[in-house]
Structure 1
C-alpha cells in the first residue's frame, strides 16, 4: 500500500494541553475525583446578552452563509473595538474574521510562509505556534526567555536570531503559558529590530483583557505607523468574553495579507459560524461590564493562590501579570522527588495526586508545569493541597 500520510503531518507533536485534558477526562469517567488545572478557558458561561443576541439571530433567520472574511457588521464592530481599546485604525479590507484565533494564526502562516522561511518563536511559547509554522513549510527558530528575564526575550536576542531567511517573529503578550506582559519600552525595542531587519510581527493579543496589578495592555502595533504596517494583530473573544466554544477570532493588518487569508478561507472553512458572528457583534457592541467582572475574579484567585503555590517545596514561581496561568519552575522538586523529566512528573501528579497540570515540555520549557486558575477557588485550594502533599511525600 502507498504511504497514507503526507510528510508534513509526520513531524507534528500532539497538543500536550489536549492530551492531558483527555487523560484527565478518562479518569473522571472512571469516577476518580480529578482536579483539572489544564483549562485554557474561563469557567464562566458566556454573558447573557451575547446568548440572547445569538438566539435572536437564529429566530430572525440569520443562519445562512456570510462572506468568507466575516460579516461586514462584525468587521465594523472589530474596527470600533480596535480604535476604542487600542487606538488603532483599520479599514474593513484589513480585517478577517476566522474560526477562532488559532485558525486565524494557522491561515496567516499558510499565506505568508514559503518553504524554509524562518519564524522566531520566544520560549516559553503556546503549543501550536511551532506546529503551525511547520505545517506551512516554515522553520521555527527558538529564542529563550529565561525565568531571570521574566520569560521574555530581549531586542538583542531577537537581533542575533535573525537571518536572511527570517520572515516573522511572534509576540504573545500577555503570554500563554507564563502570564508575563511586555512593557511598552520592551515592545518598542523589539519593534525597532523588526523594522531594521524588515521582518513581520505577529502579535497574539488574545489575553489582552486579563491584566492584573494595574497593568495596562499595549499593542506593539501602537508604536508607530511603520510598525503597524508590518504587524498582524491576532485577537478574539474566547478569553475576554468567555466564548471559547463559539470559535470567533480575527486578524488585523496589511490588506494584501488579509485578502490572501480571506481567499484561503473561501477554499477551506468558508465563513465562521454565522450565529457565532452575530453573538460576537453583541460582545463588542454591547455592555462590557461582565468582562471586568471576570477579570476581577481571576485577579482575586491569583492573589489567593499564588503564595500557596510558591510555598510548595522545590517550586520557584514568578507572579504573572496577565492571562490565567502560573508557570512554576519545578526543577528542584523533580530532582528531590526522583523524576528526571517533567512529563513523568506531570503524569504522576495526575495518576497519584489526581491533579491534571500541563507539562512545560509542550511550551519549550522542560523544567516547568503550567497551572490554570480558571476554575473555582475551592478547587484550586484543594489542588494545591494535593500537589504539596505529593511533593512532600516523595521528598528525599
Structure 2
C-alpha cells in the first residue's frame, strides 16, 4: 500500500504543485511541501464518484453538511476524548483559512498573539493580516527538551489576546505531553487567552508518543480553546482544500461563523471536500494506521541517514513527517544549502528562512519524508554525496 510501486509519478508530475513534482525539474526529488506522494484511500475516491454521479452540485449549508459535522464530532469524542458538538463545528476551505478565521474572529488592531519560533508561517501571516502583532516565543529545537513556561508567561501583556499552539509542532516534530499542555492551558486560563490549537498534524505521531488535545484536559481550558485541523497531512487530501474549525461554546461559534463569511457565500467549504473528509473519518482508519506505520520506518531511514552526513545533525521527530536538520557545521546557511542541494544533488528541500518558520529556523533545512523508503534512501544518498564533495 505504501511502497514505491504505489506511487504514480506521472500523475504527480502533472498535478503535485506547491514546490513538489509539478514545480521542479524532472530529475529533482522534492522533499518539500508536506503532501504525501501516495494516493488516498480508495473509499474516498469511490465516495466522491458516487456523489458526483447524480450530477447535482448545489450550494451546501453555510455551516456545513450534517453528515460531515456529525462524523467530525463523533471522531473527536471517540479518538481524542474531546467532547465536540456537531452544532459548534464547521468545515472551512483548508486549515490555513481556519487559522485566519480564528485570528479574524478574536484579534483586533493592536492586539498581540504569541506564536512559537520556529513554527509554520501561517500563524504570523494570519495574525498580521488582521492588523495584530505576532509575538515570537523561542522554543527548543530538540523535541525532548522542556519549554520554559515562565519565559512564555513573561511575554504576556495587557494586549495579549491569543496563544497559538501547534501540536505536533511543525517543523521540529515535538508532540506535547499532557503535563506540558496543562501548563500552557493554565497560563491561558489565568490570563483569559484564546488558545488557537492547530491540530492538523495530530494523527501523525510516532510510538511511543501519544497525542493529547489541549481541549481534552478540562472544561476551563476547553472554554478558552478553538481547534483548527484538516485532512491533507493524514489522508492526502490537500487539493480538496478541506479543514474544520471546532468551537466549544455558542458565543465562540457565532463569532467564528460571522468572521468566516460563510453566510455571505464569500467563503465556504466545497462539497467534495466534505464528502471526502467524512469518508476518511468514518471508513479509512485502516489506511491511516498503515500510513503511520510506514512513516515511522521512513522517519528512521531519513533521520539516521542525515545524522551520518558530516556536518549535519537531526533530532528524531516525535510527530509530523518532517525532518528538521541542522546544517550549521557545514559552513553554509539555509539558503546556500537549499541551492546546493537543488542544483547539484537534485533534491529540493525547504530552507529554514524567517519567511517560512521564523528566526529560530536559521541554520536548518526541512525535509518531508511522506514518500517511499526507496525514494528517501535515494535522496539521502544524493545529499550525502553532494555535501561530502562540496564542503
TM-score between both structures, scaled by the size of structure 2 = 0.89
Which among 339, 344, 352 is matched to residue 344 of structure 2? Answer: 352
Q: Give the structure 2 partner of residue 260 of structure 1.
A: 255
1:137-286 alignment, distance < 5 Å: 137-148=131-142, 150=144, 153-253=147-247, 254-263=249-258, 264-267=261-264, 269-286=266-283
Cα deviation, 1:127-163, whole Å, max 9, x if unaligned, reads 2111111001111100111235647643212201111
Counterpart position of 1:12: none
2: CA distance between counterparts of 1:356 and 1:20?
12
1:82-97 paired onto structure 2 within 5 Å: 82-97=76-91
**Following TM superposition, by how much is the alpha carbon of 1:345 offset from its aligned partner in structure 2, in angstroms?**
2.0
- Provide the rounded CA distance (Å) in 2 between the counterparts of 1:159 and 1:226: 18
Matches of 2:94 and 2:70, distance apart in 1: 18
Q: Deviations over 1:53-82 (max 9, x none)?
A: 111112235521111121122111111011
8 Å Cα contact 1:183-1:218 kept in structure 2 = yes
Decide whether the 8 Å contact of 2:197 with 2:227 is kept in 1: yes
Alpha carbon RMSD of aligned pairs, Å? Answer: 2.0
Q: Contact 2:102 / 2:196 at 8 angstroms: preserved in 1?
A: no
Question: Is 1:101 equivalent to 2:98 in the alignment?
Answer: no
Counterparts in 2 of 1:20 and 1:312: CA distance versus 1, 3 Å: farther
CA distance in structure 2 between the aligned counterparts of 1:44 and 1:209, rounded to whole angstroms: 16
Q: How much does 1:346 deviate?
A: 0.9
Cα separation, 2, equivalents of 1:262 and 1:147? 36
Q: Tell me if the contact between 1:122 and 1:152 (Cα under 8 Å) persists in the aligned partners.
A: no
Number of the residue aligned with 1:67: 61
- Structure 2 residue aligned with 1:118: 112
Q: Give the superposition deviation at 1:269.
A: 3.9
Query: TM-score, structure 1 length as denominator?
Result: 0.88
CA distance in 2, matches of 1:20, 1:88: 33
- 1:125 Cα deviation (Å)? 0.4
> Does the 8 Å CA contact 2:69/2:87 hold for their aligned counterparts?
no
8 Å Cα contact 1:151/1:178 also seen in 2: no
CA deviation vs aligned residue, 1:85-137 (integer Å, no higher than 9, x gap) = 11111223310210111111111111111001111001110121111110011
Distance, in Å, in 2 between the alignment partners of 1:77 and 1:152 is 35
Could you tell me which residue of structure 1 aligns to residue 9 of structure 2?
A: none
Q: Note the C-alpha offset of 1:257.
A: 2.8
Determine the C-alpha separation between the residues in 1 that align with 2:370 and 2:193: 35
Secondary structure class of the residue paired with 2:162: strand
3-state SS, counterpart of residue 265 of structure 1: coil
Deviations 1:293-348 (A, max 9, x none): 11111111112222111111111211001110000111111x2xxx3x31122122
Distance in 1 separating the partners of 2:131 and 2:367: 32
| Partner SS, residue 134 of structure 2 | strand
| Contact 1:298–1:374 (CA under 8 A) maintained in structure 2 | yes
Offset of residue 26 of structure 1: 5.2
Structure 1 residues 304-323: aligned runs within 5 Å: 304-323=301-320
Contact 2:101 2:256 in 1 (8 A): yes
Task: Tell me if structure 2 keeps the 8 A contact 1:62–1:275.
Answer: no
1:382 aligned to which of 371, 375, 378:
378
SS at match of 2:60: coil
SS in 2 for 1:132: helix
Q: Distance in 1 between matches of 2:49 and 2:194?
A: 40
Residues 177/149 of structure 1: CA separation in 2 closer, same or farther (3 Å cut): closer
Q: Secondary structure at the match of 2:229?
A: strand
